[in-house]
Structure 1
Amino acid sequence: MRSFLSAASTVLLVLVALLTPLSSIAVWADREIGDTDSYVPTMAPLASDPAVQNAVADRITDEAMKKFDASPFQEGARNLLHEAVVSFSGTDAYKTAWNTVNRAAHTAVEQALTSNGGDSAGMDLAPVIEQVKQQLSDEGVPFADQIPVERTRITILESDKLGVVREVVDWLQIAGVWLPVATLLLAATAVLFAVRRVRAVIGLGLALAAGGALLRLAVTIGHGLALDDLPPDVDRPAAGAVYDALTATLRTTSWWVLGAGVAVAVGVWGFQRSWLPWARER
């Protein structure tokens, strides 16, 4: 009976290690990706990211240059407009427009990451372009008043292999808080089943640390897969910045879980090595 309980405890601890990263992703998918009020603040720092600013400026400049002919000063006009847009991207007006764009784009991102379908997600830069045009026109930048304010889409997520990702994220959103609760119950059961509970608590700490490490590994691998699968016309540095912003919470969670697991394991091990022998002698 003792050997059975010991084996059962070990199996449960392995399950805890495997379910810890899935639980973290489930909460992330439900509370961050699935909620507009959480998604917008998550994407807000990208307004100050140089790669994203450059990608937005490229897109706005390309669209603007299609609408008017500045020959023989075409290249010079393009560079001037591009630099002006990049300069404007550091203003509060730009950041406000950026948040407006992301709030509108959230539904498309959520649909692309769930079973609702869609192989890509993007954002309409029209609110940003409107602010850019107004600001640059007020500053007297040449050709600024000719910038067309119309639907201009920039792709932030695109893949022809999103099927598996959608299935996983959709399932995790359904799991929601139940998966973390189940993981906690398994952890408690593993300790209760253990013949030597102090060792079981140490094992639980190691299982949590392993789960945190697996979560960090999954985020790292996901970054590579996401960029490798992008079409050639999508700006990779900007896409990488978007991925990092979306998964920032997961990276932070992975380090907290790993650190907490190591702290529990080392703390209980130290307690077992020092205080218990002293207590027996007393």
Structure 2
Amino acid sequence: MRGIDQRGTEAEILMEAAESDRPPGESEREELERLRRELAAHRGVPGTGDRPGGRAGREHRGALRWTAMVVLLALVAVLAVGSVLARFAHGEVLDTGRYLRIVTPLGTDPALQSELVDRITDAIMDRVDVEALTAQALTAITENDPRVPAAVVGLAPLVGKQARDFVRDTATSVLASNEFEALWIQANRQTHKGVVAVLTGDTHPAVGMSEDGTVSVSLGPIIDRVRTVLTEQGFTFVEKVPAIDRSLVVFRSPELVKARWWVSFLDRTDRVLPWITVLLAACAVWVAPKGARRQAISWMGVALALAMAALAVAIGIARSAYLHAVPAEVMTPQAAATVIDAFLVPLRTAVRAVFTVAVVIALAGFLSGPSRSAVAVRDGYNRALAAVRSRRSGREPQAIESAMGRFRGPLRGGIIAVAVIVLAFWRYPTGLVLIGTVLVTVTALLAVELVAGPRTVRRDRAPR
């Protein structure tokens, strides 16, 4: 009735203005605008006089919720990348045990062993000029014994080549022995101390890493072992050679020194960033409009998957740039590729694992939503469960079936909670651990659905 009275008053104002052949006055126009605003608010039409609880207010709050959700999901994607890099920096770069697990197999890699043999052979032969020593000895023999022709002096280059081959074969045999692994591990342990010293703020490490980002392994103990074996086999040229300390460059990147602040920051925030990421993800789902929270879960999985895809592309670009930047005289392309790939394996594995989990989250959010395809999948799933349960429909449910049917919800939550705890407290979860955890969780949830009986509807009250 009030709306009719308002429309009547509005019409009366317009009729009075028409009869007097004049436009409405200022007061009449204000009254007309006021009545129009009240009528618009009464009908629920957006206008300048909408009440805070009207449709326009709800639309405004919904827009704010969507905006907040998008911002939080963007932060989740960025922090997910940071979490993966933080775990890599703390667990693979700065942890000595994990570092040695990466570099120990490199000692048996053919490309790197060839590089090592060349460096050891050159280090020894540079100190022992076998060709010159042989030429001097043969010259002295020809001068003291006229029966020896002077042409034998020309054998000196051949002897020098054979000596180099002998040193090379000896170095190869030492690198193939069991004792080489212990020497290689010890050398890399000392190297890692220098790497950690530089990356954590000590700019003057004794060994390991220089200020231009060159990470090198000292070959002194390995060369000493080769010299010992050579002496035992009668190659006495090396007896009076002083200690030789050569090094093998395993990594070179000036950007590594420039990024020391970021490496130190990621190391300190290794345990914090994942929890902040999970908290923001929960906030993104909570802040979403009530009818779109399952959609928010799906979008969260998509955001994480896109973040991991972008990180994978960035890793590939960084690898290519590194290989092009390493000079051939510092390390052969094959050896450089072997080393960088060995260090990138844990990072790539983590990226693939998080990507897999993100896809699972996106599918879970999508399949629980109201779309036709999701409803069709759920209907098919329910029919499959009903077909399995129909086999036991002719008997009374067992105690465990009844109990699981009553506590279906807590069991689901407990299974998911256990999976989260396992991943949270596993010190270095590999991709296999993450994928295995997801598969076990899904299998456990499916087992609950199969064992538990169908939901029962209580009919204590008559429907009204």
Structure 1 CA distance, aligned partners of 2:237 and 2:271?
50
Instruction: Give the structure 2 partner of residue 123 of structure 1.
Output: 217
TM-score (norm 2): 0.55
Distance 1:233 1:141, change over 3 A: farther
Distance 1:269 1:86, change over 3 A: farther
Structure 2 CA distance, aligned partners of 1:17 and 1:83?
53
Distance 1:233 1:113, change over 3 A: farther
Instruction: Give the structure 2 partner of residue 274 of structure 1.
Output: 375
Secondary structure at the aligned position of 1:150 is classed as coil
Instruction: Give the structure 2 partner of residue 91 of structure 1.
Output: 177
Give a deviation string over 1:45-64, Cα, whole Å, max 9, x none: 11111121111111111100
Structure 1 CA distance, aligned partners of 2:378 and 2:106?
55
Instruction: Give the structure 2 partner of residue 244 of structure 1.
Output: 341
List aligned pairs for 1:224-263, cutoff 5 A.
224-235=320-331, 236-263=333-360
Structure 2 CA distance, aligned partners of 1:150 and 1:60?
9
Distance 1:180 1:144, change over 3 A: farther
Please report the RMSD computed on the Cα atoms of aligned residues, expressed in angstroms: 2.6
Superposed displacement of residue 42, structure 1: 2.0
Q: Judge conservation of contact 2:187–2:218 (CA < 8 Å) in 1.
A: yes
Instruction: Give the structure 2 partner of residue 30 of structure 1.
Output: 90
Q: Judge conservation of contact 1:108–1:122 (CA < 8 Å) in 2.
A: no
Superposed displacement of residue 124, structure 1: 0.9
Q: Judge conservation of contact 2:87–2:270 (CA < 8 Å) in 1.
A: yes
Count of matched residue pairs: 279
Instruction: Give the structure 1 partner of residue 310 of structure 2.
Output: 214
Structure 2 CA distance, aligned partners of 1:270 and 1:19?
26
TM-score (norm 1): 0.87
User: Quick check: 1:201 aligned with 2:297?
Assistant: yes
Give a deviation string over 1:236-264, Cα, whole Å, max 9, x none: 32233222222221011011111111122
Structure 1 CA distance, aligned partners of 2:193 and 2:323?
22
Instruction: Give the structure 1 partner of residue 444 of structure 2.
Output: none
List aligned pairs for 1:77-226, cutoff 5 A.
77-117=163-203, 118-119=211-212, 120-135=214-229, 140=233, 142=235, 146=239, 149-195=243-289, 196-226=292-322
Greater relative contact order (Cα < 8 A, sep 6+) = 1
Distance 1:209 1:121, change over 3 A: same
Structure 1 unmatched runs, 5+: none
Q: Judge conservation of contact 1:204–1:265 (CA < 8 Å) in 2.
A: yes
Secondary structure at the aligned position of 1:122 is classed as strand
Give a deviation string over 1:100-140, Cα, whole Å, max 9, x none: 111111022224445444222211112222333445555x3
Q: Judge conservation of contact 1:216–1:250 (CA < 8 Å) in 2.
A: no
State, as a whole percentage, how many aligned pairs show the same letter.
Answer: 30
- Equivalent AA in structure 2 for residue 97 of structure 1: L
- Equivalent AA in structure 2 for residue 88 of structure 1: V
Instruction: Give the structure 1 partner of residue 162 of structure 2.
Output: 76
Superposed displacement of residue 8, structure 1: 1.1
